[in-house]
Amino acid sequence: MSLLRQLIRGSTRWSSSRRLDIAIPARRPFHSMFRPHYTNVFPGAEIGSSRQRIEIENPATEEIICTVDAASPADVNAAVTAGMKAFQSGIWANKDVNHRFDVLIKLADMLKSRMSEFAKYESLQTGRPIREMNAQLARLPEWLTYHASLARTHTGRIPPFKGKMLNTLTYSPLGVVAQITPWNHPLLIAIKKIAPALAAGNSVVVKPSELAPVSVLLFAEMALEARIPEGVLNVVCGLGAETGKALCEDSRIAKIDLTGGTETGRAVCAAAGKNLIPVTAELGGKTPVLVFPDIEVERAVKGALFASFIAAGQTCVTGSRIIIHEDIYDQFAASFVAKANALRIGDPLDTKTQVSTVINRASIDRCQRFVDQALSEGGKLLCGGSPAPVNGKGHFFQPTVIEVTPEMALANEEVFGPVIALIRSPSPAHMLATANSTPFALGAALWTSSLSLAHSVSQQLDAGLVWVNTHHNNDPSSPWGGWKDSGMGKENGVEAFEGYLKCKSTVVNWGEAGGVDWFEDNKGARYG
């Protein structure tokens, strides 16, 4: 029988996965939909595979659904080597963009045809309601088609240049890029990064979350079927502190694209800094939702409910602190709490379920700690506040609403769970100051019927994404990302695509051939 040991990791706050040190244990079957075990995806993975395996848990039943190889530093080295080999061969990087377009469109079509299957994998490994995963995954092919289209239409430029000079800007892929992704939207975030990187001609090594890697592995297998050449899209599963660290420390990596917590961002940037590797980092947030008194209250309540409790509050842009003008506070709070109390908690695979689990036991404990701290600081519990296992099982936590004041921890720190702060505010100026008072600058939303207020407040909000009378909208063409403790760089849009390219200036003197003889007496007094 294999030896099971609980790994205690210092680098991430929510993980508590189990890792097996030797071969697959005999107690099977896991979940019937899953293979009992998944290997990494890179040429040679079968032989190079580590003897360590991670158990993947279904957060709703606490059952182990499968195991996955944990890549050792030697495996990571092999995956990067495979990426380098593919890149240097030019088999993808130097292919005509029309070819890359065709393959990515084919991959998008294959994903469409397996959509409901992928949605189920996502739901089972994350505990997120199938209703959410069906809606989210239905849009993923758009990221592939958008970036494939950019590959075909993106052209160089000829910027103005003083004198008889012609400067042509040309773009080329970076090389082998590392992508490190979280568990909350496993496939969405991986595809947001993989699509521009591949469209631009790079080789990719993805390190998905140890907690929910299966859909990313299956997607990489499907990419091989779509004729992405071997070695171009590689996946190494494993713990961040080991597999992710080895990937970030490999000096052959040309860029790191991370989505994760702020502390992980600091660790990854420190490792990248040693090799001067550029980093795109999509990190944590504490998204404010500002509700102004001119709005129809019920409209804002419904919008804020969606902002707060989708994914059980586990998104980087969860509307986790709702700042409400005092003129409508009581009406808003009463309706918001009534609706939060009525949300249907249950089996993620039941299409009627509205809120399901958080990711694991550690996350339940974290939610509880925030509730306890808020109450000890003087916060008022309006609903929820406790774990809510279904039939004694599962990492369910009640949708929780607590009235707090702006200086309390719950108003400032990321919970990443269904624990939402309501803040009563005396004036628009106070609402704005409160919204801008955390170290994060990712998302923000505001609800008003005044066009002028909407524009003036959105301009002053310290956030990379502002939604007016809506929340959570995302589109492949719309840049996504924040600043301060929320990270740097952008996903989506031309910005993400160009982030996977190097730009070269080629300056041609079309005037006097040979240019200036700088060292001839009385000549060369003017440079440039």
Catalytic site positions: 193, 282, 316, 491
- Nearest to residue 151, comparing CAs of 83, 96, 230? 96
Query: CA–CA separation, 208 vs 278, rounded Å?
Result: 19
Element (H, E) at 459: helix 451-460
Q: From the list 48, 141, 175, 284, which residue makes contact with ligand NDP (rule: CB under 6 A)?
A: 284
Rounded to a whole number of angstroms, the minimum distance from the CB of residue 312 to ligand NDP is 13
CB atoms within 10 A of CB 191: 27
Q: Does 416 bind ligand NDP (CB under 6 A)?
A: yes
Q: Does 283 bind ligand NDP (CB under 6 A)?
A: yes
Tokens encoding 149: 């289209």
Q: Which of these ranges, 97-105, 197-205, 237-245, 451-459, lies near ligand NDP under the rule CB under 6 A?
A: 237-245
Q: From the list 43, 186, 201, 285, which residue makes contact with ligand NDP (rule: CB under 6 A)?
A: 285
Q: Does 248 bind ligand NDP (CB under 6 A)?
A: yes
- The answer to whether 254 touches 172, Cβ cutoff 8 Å, is no
Residue tagged 């939702």 (tokens):
289
Q: Does 497 bind ligand NDP (CB under 6 A)?
A: no
- Nearest to residue 239, comparing CAs of 55, 412, 415? 55
Q: Does 240 bind ligand NDP (CB under 6 A)?
A: yes
Residue number with CB closer to ligand NDP (18 or 114): 18
Q: Does 239 bind ligand NDP (CB under 6 A)?
A: yes
Q: From the list 72, 123, 264, 448, which residue makes contact with ligand NDP (rule: CB under 6 A)?
A: 264
Q: From the list 241, 349, 409, 454, which residue makes contact with ligand NDP (rule: CB under 6 A)?
A: 241
Q: Does 136 bind ligand NDP (CB under 6 A)?
A: no
Q: Which of these ranges, 77-85, 219-227, 236-244, 289-297, lies near ligand NDP under the rule CB under 6 A?
A: 236-244
Sequence-ordered strand ranges (E) for 394-441? 400-404, 419-425, 440-441
Interaction residues for ligand NDP, span 296-325 (CB under 6 A): 316
Q: Does 45 bind ligand NDP (CB under 6 A)?
A: no
Q: Does 122 bind ligand NDP (CB under 6 A)?
A: no
Q: From the list 14, 42, 87, 309, which residue makes contact with ligand NDP (rule: CB under 6 A)?
A: 14
Element (H, E) at 257: strand 253-259
Rounded to a whole number of angstroms, the minimum distance from the CB of residue 238 to ligand NDP is 7
Rounded to a whole number of angstroms, the minimum distance from the CB of residue 13 to ligand NDP is 6
Q: Does 288 bind ligand NDP (CB under 6 A)?
A: no
Q: Please name the residue ranges forming H helices in 377-478.
A: 428-435, 451-460
Instruction: Kindly list the distances between the CA atom of residue 122 and the CA atoms of 186, 187, 243, 306, in Å, as whole numbers in the listed order.
Output: 7, 8, 22, 20
Q: Does 184 bind ligand NDP (CB under 6 A)?
A: yes
Distance, first Cα to last Cα, the chain: 74
Query: CA–CA separation, 284 vs 463, rounded Å?
Result: 12
Q: Please name the residue ranges forming H helices in 235-275.
A: 245-248, 262-274
Interaction residues for ligand NDP, span 428-467 (CB under 6 A): 442
Q: Does 183 bind ligand NDP (CB under 6 A)?
A: yes
Residue number with CB closer to ligand NDP (196 or 240): 240
Q: Strands 279-282, 487-488: parallel, antiparallel or unpaired by DSSP?
A: antiparallel
Q: Looking at residue 367, what DSSP letter applies?
A: H
- Nearest to residue 428, comparing CAs of 414, 447, 409? 447
Rounded to a whole number of angstroms, the minimum distance from the CB of residue 481 to ligand NDP is 7
Question: HSE (CB half, 13 Å, CA atoms) of 411?
Answer: 23
Q: From the list 55, 57, 257, 414, which residue makes contact with ligand NDP (rule: CB under 6 A)?
A: 414
Residue tagged 């099982």 (tokens):
393
Q: From the list 41, 65, 103, 180, which residue makes contact with ligand NDP (rule: CB under 6 A)?
A: 180
Residue tagged 């959410």 (tokens):
132
Q: Which of these ranges, 56-64, 159-167, 228-236, 280-288, lies near ligand NDP under the rule CB under 6 A?
A: 280-288
How big is the chain by its Cα radius of gyration, in Å? Answer: 25
Q: Which of these ranges, 40-48, 160-168, 260-268, 387-395, lies near ligand NDP under the rule CB under 6 A?
A: 260-268
Query: CA–CA separation, 396 vs 388, rounded Å?
Result: 5
| Positions that interact with ligand NDP (CB under 6 A) | 11-12, 14-15, 180-184, 207, 209-210, 239-241, 244-245, 248, 259-261, 264, 267-268, 282-285, 316, 414, 416, 442, 487
